[in-house]
């Protein structure tokens, strides 16, 4: 049985008190790697101690297996537990024993129809949802599913208190980003990602890994099976043991691959959406992002996979597709909400207030305010001076244009000597569109 950290015990107490206080549905938010499975298991243990029946579900079979193992380690009374995928629960509602408590992991998926079917059927049952990031690309919130939200410690706090590893992000980008197009879901289409991957020189993926993360146990995230296999091939050609796996890899073979990766027999694990959620390999210290995404959830789950805590560990994140440009650094603190975000602002509030830049010398992604790169000591003083000079010149230009418009606006139309002056005068005095053209035409200025 695991002893919970203080912040985990606090989340357990706050969740239970929220239910006791009359909240029928509560969403618990805690960063990836903060130990949500331990918190869930402790809540289930306390519930089953009182012979209350717990229904737990999640969207993938691998996560079901992992939570079962966590429940057993935490001495949960399994006689009072039902643990299934969301699809199996939705198809067995009439035959399952009625629960006293519902627990849902990876609750950012809760808007899906299968989840809604279960929630409607058990509308009178208290419900706890867990997620690392309550965020959807549509901007739609969760306040119609969960009546309140409880938030755990921020990522920076977890790093400071040695519960997550710190990280360095390298923005060594590959491929032609102009090839990417977004589909109806808001994320990039498979076809556009196929085109993007064709613009990548695959050998450069291995070169950048050797430069930034040589010999580290590494997870590589790809968008397609074919691309993932190509990347694994490039690593193997360079003498680095790499294997591809995805959800269609036969279960026995997949389990062997995961076991050998955890044991260190495989150095690089290339995958497609297989180890983004609930995959725990603490000594994995590097991830390579080759899957472009507009989903903050995907970005955090993948980039933070290498940030599981070990003493003196500093994770390396090689973002070769520029996801950090949309979402900032994975270790920055974020303000979460269960309410809708403003329409049209899919990334709004995600990176607000934190500007970033890439060091031209070592490619580390750092806060824009840094005068010296904390990784390689590159001096940004001259760049900052040139940037400030450029801003000054732009402001002077704007002021000069404002002064010019003010002077022109005070003239009489007969004093205007060009189409440009007529256009400025017409705009300043609210003339109808076309007035400047007709005036210039009549005076033979055009």
Q: Which two tokens stand for residue 426?
A: 């017409």
Q: Are 57 and 93 in contact (CB under 8 A)?
A: no
In this prediction the pTM is: 0.83
Q: Considering Cα of 125, then 129, then 135, then 136, what sign does the dihedral take?
A: negative
Answer yes or no: do 220 and 323 share one domain.
yes
Order of all β-strands in the sheet with 148-151? 81-85, 54-58, 101-104, 127-131, 25-29, 148-151
Rounded Cα distance, 328 and 324, in Å: 5
Reference 386, options 374, 394, 397, 378; nearest CA is: 394
8 A C-beta contact, residue 276 and residue 298? yes
pLDDT number for residue 343: 52
> In whole angstroms, what is the distance from residue 192 CA to residue 211 CA?
28
Provide the token pair at 99: 């629960």
Based on C-alpha coordinates, what's the Rg of the chain? Answer: 27
Dist CA 275 CA 305 (whole Å): 8
Is 159 part of a structural domain of the chain?
A: no
* pLDDT score at 345: 45
Instruction: Tell me how far apart the terminal alpha carbons of the chain are, to the nearest angstrom.
Output: 86
User: What CATH number should be reported for the domain holding residue 144?
Assistant: 3.40.50.300
> Of 154, 183, 218, which residue sits at a domain end?
154
Strand-pair category, 365-367 with 356-358: antiparallel
State how far the Cα of 139 lies from the Cα of 148, in Å rounded to an integer.
18
Q: Write down how long the chain is.
A: 446
**pLDDT of the residue at 276:** 66
Which residues constitute the domain of residue 316? 165-330+349-379
CA distance 287 to 368: 23
Do 76 and 115 belong to one domain? yes
User: Mean pLDDT in runs of 10 for the chain (446 residues)?
Assistant: 95 95 95 95 97 95 89 97 97 96 96 96 97 92 95 97 97 85 89 92 92 95 96 96 92 91 95 76 93 94 94 96 93 93 50 77 92 94 86 93 94 92 93 91 88
Same domain, 249 and 360: yes
Per residue in 336-385, pLDDT tens?
A: 999 998 654 444 434 455 789 999 999 999 998 899 999 999 999 988 88
Between helix 381-409 and helix 419-428 the angle, nearest 10°, is 80
Q: Which of 123, 154, 185 corresponds to the end of one domain?
A: 154
278 and 399 assigned to the same domain? no
Of 154, 182, 206, which marks where a domain is finished?
154
Measure the CA angle with vertex 384, ends 392 and 366; round to 5°. Answer: 135
Residue 343 belongs to some domain of the structure = no
């Amino acid at each position: 049985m695991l002893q919970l950290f203080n912040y985990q015990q606090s989340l357990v107490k706050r969740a239970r008190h929220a239910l006791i206080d009359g909240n029928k549905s509560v969403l618990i938010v805690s960063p990836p790697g903060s130990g949500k499975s331990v918190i869930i298991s402790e809540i289930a243990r306390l519930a089953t101690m009182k012979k209350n029946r717990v229904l737990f579900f999640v969207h993938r079979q691998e996560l079901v297996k992992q939570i079962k193992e966590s429940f057993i380690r935490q001495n949960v009374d399994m006689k009072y537990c039902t643990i299934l995928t969301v699809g199996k629960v939705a198809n067995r509602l009439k035959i399952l024993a009625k629960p006293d408590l519902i627990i849902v992991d990876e609750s950012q998926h809760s808007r899906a129809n299968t989840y809604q079917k279960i929630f409607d059927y058990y509308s009178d049952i208290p419900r706890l949802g867990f997620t690392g990031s309550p965020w959807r690309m549509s901007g739609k919130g969760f306040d119609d599913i969960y009546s309140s939200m409880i938030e755990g410690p921020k990522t920076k706090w977890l790093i400071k208190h040695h519960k997550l590893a710190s990280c360095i992000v390298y923005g060594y980008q590959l491929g032609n980003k102009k090839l990417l197009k977004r589909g109806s879901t808001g994320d990039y289409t498979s076809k556009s990602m196929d085109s993007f991957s064709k613009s990548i020189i695959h050998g450069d993926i291995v070169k950048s890994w050797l430069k930034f993360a040589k010999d580290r146990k590494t997870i590589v995230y790809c968008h397609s099976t074919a691309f993932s296999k190509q990347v694994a091939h490039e690593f193997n050609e360079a003498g680095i043991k790499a294997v591809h796996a995805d959800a269609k890899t036969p279960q026995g073979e997949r389990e062997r691959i995961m076991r050998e990766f955890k044991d260190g027999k495989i150095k690089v694990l290339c995958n497609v959406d297989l180890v983004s959620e609930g995959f725990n390999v603490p000594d994995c210290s590097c991830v390579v992002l080759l899957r472009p995404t507009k989903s903050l959830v995907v970005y955090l789950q993948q980039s933070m996979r290498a940030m599981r805590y070990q003493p003196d560990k500093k994770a390396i994140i090689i973002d070769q597709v520029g996801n950090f440009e949309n979402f900032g650094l994975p270790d920055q603190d974020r303000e979460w909400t269960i309410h809708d975000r403003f329409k049209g602002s899919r990334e709004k509030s995600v990176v607000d207030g934190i500007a970033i830049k890439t060091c031209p010398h070592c490619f580390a992604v750092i806060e824009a305010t840094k005068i010296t790169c904390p990784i390689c000591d590159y001096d940004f003083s001259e760049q900052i001076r040139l940037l400030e000079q450029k801003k000054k010149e732009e402001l002077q230009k704007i002021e000069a244009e404002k002064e010019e418009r003010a002077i022109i606006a005070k003239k009489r139309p007969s004093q205007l000597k060009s189409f440009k002056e007529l256009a400025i005068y017409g705009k300043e005095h609210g003339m109808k569109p076309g007035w400047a053209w007709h005036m210039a035409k009549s005076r033979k200025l055009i």
